């Protein structure tokens, strides 16, 4: 009996042993067959790390029906152009139904296409055209706030006991003995004035970090989160490949929302961003939505420092893939209110990228960009847009963006070296940020109209929003109509895609070559980044190294030619790309660099 039991137990033991051996063998087989992630230089490979993203601001890209407003069929008609450029992900700024207080960043209906941009059928055609060309589409997720015309807010403002009341952030504010009402706290809006507006129907204030027509959603309400996750699934199920998430660190509000201190008022985004529940909300979003699709997510990280980046993107946290950090793009300028174009130096710019390389780990992933629809043009801001220097300086910044470490984001028109617009009067602008700031600063006598207009001309977001310059016909070929929603830059006869397409020395053809070069080597994606000469005032020289493969990038940031001696006895290898037809120097240690010249050597 006892021996029978022993035998049975022994058999069970053997069976279990066998089963666990089989499981272990299966696991190692899975690992060997590539089911376990195979790291490249310590990084987990992902399609979105290898992508080159191109941002389209639909209003300004291409008008197909002559009403002066860019639209979805217009974009579809230019997909071959984008494919030839070599980009493989398109980020579309908001295309949803909107009253356009902030050009689509105020959404009325998340499941409808903006009437001016077309129909859902036009969207489906666009998406199919993108996929046919082996590209992907990511869309803008604007869910810190909605439009005040969104049905949720229309309901919310009706009464204090409306089922949608808690979808937004309502407070009674303060009432003085004489009955004067003042907002609940001193929060300023990104678009001037208080971030609170008193709504007469229920006599309470609602919060809006941006315009009064952009009330902030209350993410503390689980029903809000459910609605957001549901609309995300709606678009992912249609086939989009992810989201650029508008001001995402703002969704969790500071505990108790006390007044900002004098110190915090110098930089309100830092106080508003990264609230106590941000990680919880993003984690839930990842679990409920993002992790179920092969998508990418990039958060627009207003108010977020480099040190805080890992809290959002470390892949062990399962929140976002990447964020936009504004240290480089805002160099010398502020991220809030009326910013001025300040002085900046190359060592400062290099220090930003050097710090990114030190602080971010192999579990984080970076983005590289110097432009978008909220910033002036790269070549006018960081380069030199004078006639002789525009082309080489535009090429230099594209070289930088496409060879630094991180997923590069290009903005429409930068591949042509498009410049700032010669803004003169307030009437030249469309942007609500400019109009509100004018009321708050000029109308109140705080600064003169001429000071205001001079500074806006250099920093205004409208610089990036003038229509794409397609050719030298009327209105730059953007529209067949005569009234584009924002004026075309008068320099379109010289700067346009048709002309650049046929000019081998154009910015456009250079960017095509750069993207093609990047596509040939993963060293530009996963390779280490080393700044060879951080203190040099005019030259940025760095290497990208992956195993035995090494590239040396040398860029002359200035309008003067110079002789540059490579540091540490280094010799330049084989020249693989240069923006100057004449430069053919290889295997030398002193480089004769023309103004704004950039070169890429394979070592």
Catalytic residues, by residue number, are 246, 300
- What's the CA gap between 540 and 401, in Å, rounded? 13
- Using DSSP bridges, classify how beta strands 322-324 and 296-300 pair: parallel, antiparallel or unpaired: parallel
> Measured at the alpha carbon of residue 208, what is the angle toward residues 202 and 211, in degrees to the nearest 5?
110
Exposure of 582 by Cβ count < 10 A (0-12 exposed, 13-18 middle, 19+ buried)? Answer: exposed
- Using DSSP bridges, classify how beta strands 539-546 and 549-556 pair: parallel, antiparallel or unpaired: antiparallel
Site for ligand NOJ in 281-310 (CB under 6 A): 300
| Block residue for tokens 């936009």 | 324
- What's the CA gap between 93 and 80, in Å, rounded? 20
Contact (CB, 8 A) for 106 and 213: yes
Strand, helix or coil at 174?
A: strand
Q: Specify the stretch interacting with Ca ion by CB under 5 A; choose among 34-42, 60-68, 488-496, 556-564.
A: 60-68
Partner interacting with residue 374 (select from Ca ion, ligand NOJ, none; CB below 5-8 Å by kind): ligand NOJ
Partner interacting with residue 323 (select from ligand NOJ, Ca ion, none; CB below 5-8 Å by kind): none
From 105, 152, 168, 526, residue interacting with ligand NOJ (rule: CB under 6 A): 105
**Closest residue (Cβ) to ligand NOJ?**
105
Q: How far is the CB of 299 from ligand NOJ (least distance, A)?
A: 11
Interface with ligand NOJ includes 102 (CB under 6 A)?
Answer: yes
From 116, 122, 246, 597, residue interacting with ligand NOJ (rule: CB under 6 A): 246
Partner interacting with residue 63 (select from ligand NOJ, Ca ion, none; CB below 5-8 Å by kind): Ca ion
CB nearer to ligand NOJ: give 104 or 484: 104
Interface with ligand NOJ includes 430 (CB under 6 A)?
Answer: no
Q: How far is the CB of 93 from ligand NOJ (least distance, A)?
A: 8
Count of residues engaged in binding ligand NOJ, rule: CB under 6 A: 9
- What's the CA gap between 382 and 372, in Å, rounded? 14
CB nearer to ligand NOJ: give 43 or 57: 57
From 210, 336, 353, 478, residue interacting with ligand NOJ (rule: CB under 6 A): 210
Interface with Ca ion includes 63 (CB under 5 A)?
Answer: yes
- What's the CA gap between 262 and 188, in Å, rounded? 12
> What does the buried/exposed string (b/e) look like for 180-212 if buried means 16 or more CB atoms within 10 Å of the residue's CB?
eeebbbbbbbbbbbbbbbebeebebbbbbbbbb
Partner interacting with residue 246 (select from Ca ion, ligand NOJ, none; CB below 5-8 Å by kind): ligand NOJ
Report CA 502 to chain centroid distance, whole Å. Answer: 30
Site for Ca ion in 69-128 (CB under 5 A): 69, 71
Site for ligand NOJ in 334-393 (CB under 6 A): 373-374
CA dihedral sign of residues 443, 446, 448, 449:
negative
Contact (CB, 8 A) for 322 and 298: yes
Interface with ligand NOJ includes 323 (CB under 6 A)?
Answer: no
From 142, 228, 271, 523, residue interacting with ligand NOJ (rule: CB under 6 A): 142
Which residues contact Ca ion by CB under 5 A?
A: 63, 65, 67, 69, 71
Which residues contact ligand NOJ by CB under 6 A?
A: 102, 105, 142, 210, 246-247, 300, 373-374
């Amino acid at each position: 009996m006892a021996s029978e039991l022993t035998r049975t137990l022994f058999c069970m033991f053997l069976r279990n042993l066998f089963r666990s051996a089989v499981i272990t063998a299966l696991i190692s087989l899975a690992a060997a067959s590539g089911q376990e992630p195979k790291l490249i230089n310590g990084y987990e490979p992902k399609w979105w790390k290898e992508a080159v993203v191109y941002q389209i601001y639909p209003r300004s890209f291409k008008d197909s029906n002559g009403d002066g407003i860019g639209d979805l069929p217009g974009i579809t008609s230019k997909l071959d152009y984008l494919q030839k450029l070599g980009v493989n992900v398109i980020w579309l700024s908001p295309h949803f139904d909107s009253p356009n207080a902030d050009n689509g960043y105020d959404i009325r209906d998340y499941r409808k296409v903006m009437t001016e941009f077309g129909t859902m059928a036009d969207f489906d055609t666009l998406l199919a055209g993108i996929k046919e060309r082996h590209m992907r589409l990511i869309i803008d997720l604007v869910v810190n706030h909605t439009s005040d015309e969104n049905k949720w807010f229309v309901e919310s403002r009706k009464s204090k006991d409306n089922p949608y009341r808690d979808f937004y952030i309502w407070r009674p504010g303060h009432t003085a003995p004489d009955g004067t009402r003042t907002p609940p706290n001193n929060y300023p809006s990104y678009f001037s004035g208080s971030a609170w507006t008193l709504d007469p129907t229920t006599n309470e204030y609602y919060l809006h970090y941006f315009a009064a027509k952009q009330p902030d959603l209350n993410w503390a309400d689980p029903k809000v989160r459910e609605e957001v996750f549901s609309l995300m699934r709606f678009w992912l199920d249609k086939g989009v490949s992810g989201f650029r998430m508008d001001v995402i660190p703002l969704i969790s509000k500071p505990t108790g929302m006390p007044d900002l201190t004098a110190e915090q008022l110098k930089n309100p985004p830092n106080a508003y961003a990264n609230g106590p529940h941000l990680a919880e909300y993003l984690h839930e979003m990842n679990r409920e939505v993002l992790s179920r699709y092969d998508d990418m997510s990039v958060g627009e990280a207003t108010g977020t420092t480099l040190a805080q980046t890992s809290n959002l993107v470390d892949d062990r946290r399962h929140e976002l893939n990447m964020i936009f950090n504004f240290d480089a793009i805002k160099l010398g300028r502020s991220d809030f209110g009326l910013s001025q174009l300040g002085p900046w130096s190359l060592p400062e710019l290099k220090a930003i990228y050097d710090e990114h390389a030190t602080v971010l780990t192999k579990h984080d992933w970076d983005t590289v960009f110097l432009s978008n629809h909220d910033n002036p043009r790269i070549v006018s801001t960081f380069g030199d847009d004078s006639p002789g220097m525009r082309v080489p300086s535009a090429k230099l910044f594209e070289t930088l963006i496409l060879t630094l470490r991180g997923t590069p984001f290009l903005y429409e028109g930068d591949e042509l070296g498009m410049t700032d617009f010669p803004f003169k009067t307030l009437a030249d602008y469309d942007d609500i940020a400019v109009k509100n700031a004018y009321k708050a600063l000029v109308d109140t006598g705080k600064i003169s109209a001429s000071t205001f207009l001079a500074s806006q001309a250099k920093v205004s977001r409208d610089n990036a929003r003038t229509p794409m310059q397609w050719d030298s016909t009327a209105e730059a070929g953007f529209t067949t109509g005569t009234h584009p929603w924002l004026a075309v830059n008068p320099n379109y006869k010289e700067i346009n895609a048709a002309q650049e397409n046929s000019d081998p020395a154009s910015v456009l053809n250079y960017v095509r070559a750069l993207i093609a070069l990047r596509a040939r080597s993963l060293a530009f994606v996963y390779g280490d980044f080393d700044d060879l000469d951080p203190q040099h005032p005019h030259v940025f020289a760095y290497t990208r190294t992956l195993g035995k493969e090494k590239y040396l990038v040398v860029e002359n940031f200035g309008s003067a030619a110079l002789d540059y001696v490579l540091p540490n006895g280094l010799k330049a290898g084989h020249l693989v790309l240069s923006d100057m037809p004449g430069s053919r120097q290889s295997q030398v240690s002193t480089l004769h660099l023309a103004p704004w010249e950039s070169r890429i050597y394979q070592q």
